[in-house]
Amino acid sequence: MSWVERGLDQWGQEVLVGVSWDLLPWFFGVAAAIIVLHFLYASISKK
């Protein structure tokens, strides 16, 4: 299964058509990690 699906537009250029739903939990995990790290950095750097 491919993670991205590509197609051709009217002018023959390659365009992104879709992304696999299998990546959705990964993106949520990365977003949660960024939020937690930002919270930790903000609380530590506040003196």
3-state SS, 13-26, equals: CEEEEEECHHHHHH
Q: What is the pLDDT of residue 1?
A: 66
Q: What is the pLDDT of residue 15?
A: 95
Residue 30 forms part of a structural domain: yes
Q: What is the pLDDT of residue 19?
A: 87
Q: Residue 41 is part of which domain span? A: 21-47
Q: What is the pLDDT of residue 8?
A: 95
Residue 13 forms part of a structural domain: no
Token couple for 13: 């250029």
- Sorted by sequence, the CB contacts under 8 Å of residue 6 that are 6+ apart come out as 14, 15, 16, 17
Residue 7 forms part of a structural domain: no
Residue 26 forms part of a structural domain: yes
Q: What is the pLDDT of residue 2?
A: 82
Query: pLDDT digits over 6-36, tens only?
Result: 999 999 999 999 988 898 999 999 999 999 9
Q: What is the pLDDT of residue 26?
A: 93
Residues, the chain, total?
Answer: 47
Residue 16 forms part of a structural domain: no
Domain count, the chain: 1
Find where tokens 């949520």 sit.
28
